[in-house]
C-alpha cells in the first residue's frame, strides 16, 4: 500500500471538512447551552407567575427538547448532510401523533389556558360541565372536584372550558335569593316589617348593600315576596337555612299564613226537568 498519497489526502479532507466539523461542534455546544438557559428562563418565569408545578416541568422539558432538535439539525446541515428528509420525517411523525392524541392535546391545551387565565383555583366551589363541587386539583389533562356529598368528580379539561363556568367563590359576597309566599288575606305591611326584623337580627346579613324586600308577584295561591339579603360567601347556606326556618317560626307567631297550592271546587245542583 502506498502511504505516500494518504497524508496529502488526509490534509485535503481536513482542509475541506475540518472547518465544517469544527463549526458543527461549536453550533451544537453553543446551541445546547442556549437551550439550557432558555429552559431555565421559562421555568423561572412560570414559577414567578405561580404556574402549576406539573405544567412547569412539562413545558420546561418540551422547550429544551424542541430547541435541542433544532440545534442538532443545524449542526448536521453545517456538515453538509441534507436535513430536508429529517424535517419531513419529524413533521410527519408530529402530524401522526397529533391526530392520534387530538383529544388529549385538546385537554392539555385547555389545562394550560386554565392555569394561565385562572377562572378558578383550588378550594373554589364551581359549576362546570354540568357538575358542581369544590376544586381539589387542576392537572394537565383533567380537573378534580369534590361534590357536596364527598364524591370525587374528574372532568376532562376540554369539557370544562368548552362551556360556561360558574365560580361561586370568586367574589367575597353573595346575594341570597329567597321567595316567601303569604296569603292574600295577610297584611302586606306587617309581612314586610317582620321580614325586615328577621334580617336585621341576623348579624351575618350585611348592611351594605342593604337587603331587598319587595312584592315579587301575585301568584295563583299566594302573594310572593322577594327576600334578597347580601352575605359573605362563606355564610351563604347558613343564612339561607336559618332565615327560612326563622320565617316559618315568626309567621306562626304573628299569625301570617304560608299558603300551599289549593283549588276551590264549586258544586252546582241541576234539577232535571219533569218529563211530560
* Euclidean distance between CA atoms 141 and 159, whole angstroms: 10
Q: CA nearest 62: which of 46, 48, 85? A: 46
Q: Does domain 3-100 have CATH number 1.10.10.10?
A: no
Note whether 55 and 115 are within 8 A (CB): yes
Q: One digit per residue, pLDDT tens: the chain, 276 residues? A: 455 566 666 566 566 666 777 888 888 888 889 989 988 888 888 777 666 665 676 677 778 888 888 888 888 787 777 767 666 666 766 666 565 556 777 888 888 788 778 899 889 999 999 999 999 988 778 899 999 999 999 999 999 998 999 999 999 999 999 999 999 999 999 999 999 999 999 999 999 999 999 999 999 889 999 999 999 999 999 999 999 999 999 999 999 999 877 676 777 776 665 555
Neighbours of 2 (CB within 10 A): 5
* Euclidean distance between CA atoms 255 and 198, whole angstroms: 15
- Strands 212-218 and 223-228, by their bridges, are antiparallel
Q: What is the pLDDT of residue 76?
A: 79
Neighbours of 198 (CB within 10 A): 22
Note whether 127 and 135 are within 8 A (CB): no
Name the CATH architecture for the domain at 119-167: Roll (2.30)
- What are the residue boundaries of the structural domains of the chain, listed by start? 3-100, 119-167, 173-254
Q: CA nearest 73: which of 58, 91, 98? A: 91
Q: Does domain 173-254 have CATH number 3.40.50.620?
A: no
Amino acid at each position: 500500500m502506498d502511504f505516500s498519497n494518504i497524508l496529502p489526502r488526509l490534509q485535503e479532507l481536513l482542509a475541506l471538512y475540518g472547518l465544517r466539523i469544527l463549526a458543527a461542534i461549536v453550533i451544537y455546544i453553543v446551541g445546547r447551552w442556549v437551550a439550557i438557559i432558555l429552559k431555565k428562563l421559562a421555568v423561572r418565569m412560570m414559577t414567578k407567575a405561580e404556574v402549576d408545578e406539573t405544567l412547569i416541568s412539562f413545558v420546561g422539558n418540551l422547550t429544551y427538547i424542541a430547541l435541542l432538535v433544532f440545534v442538532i439539525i443545524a449542526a448536521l446541515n453545517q456538515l453538509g448532510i441534507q436535513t430536508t428528509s429529517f424535517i419531513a420525517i419529524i413533521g410527519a411523525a408530529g402530524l401522526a401523533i397529533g391526530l392520534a392524541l387530538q383529544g388529549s392535546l385538546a385537554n392539555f391545551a385547555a389545562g394550560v389556558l386554565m392555569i394561565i387565565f385562572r377562572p378558578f383555583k383550588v378550594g373554589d366551589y364551581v359549576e362546570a360541565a354540568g357538575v358542581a363541587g369544590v376544586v381539589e386539583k387542576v392537572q394537565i389533562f383533567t380537573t378534580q372536584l369534590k361534590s357536596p356529598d364527598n364524591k370525587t368528580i374528574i372532568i376532562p379539561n376540554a369539557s370544562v372550558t368548552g362551556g360556561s363556568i360558574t365560580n361561586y367563590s370568586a367574589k367575597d359576597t353573595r346575594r341570597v335569593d329567597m321567595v316567601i309566599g303569604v296569603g292574600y288575606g295577610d297584611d302586606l305591611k306587617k309581612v314586610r316589617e317582620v321580614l325586615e326584623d328577621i334580617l336585621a337580627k341576623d348579624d351575618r346579613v350585611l348592611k351594605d348593600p342593604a337587603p331587598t324586600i319587595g312584592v315579587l308577584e301575585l301568584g295563583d295561591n299566594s302573594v310572593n315576596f322577594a327576600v334578597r339579603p347580601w352575605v359573605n360567601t362563606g355564610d351563604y347556606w347558613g343564612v339561607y337555612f336559618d332565615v327560612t326556618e326563622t320565617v316559618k317560626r315568626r309567621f306562626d307567631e304573628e299569625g301570617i299564613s304560608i299558603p300551599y297550592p289549593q283549588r276551590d271546587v264549586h258544586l252546582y245542583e241541576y234539577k232535571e226537568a219533569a218529563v211530560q
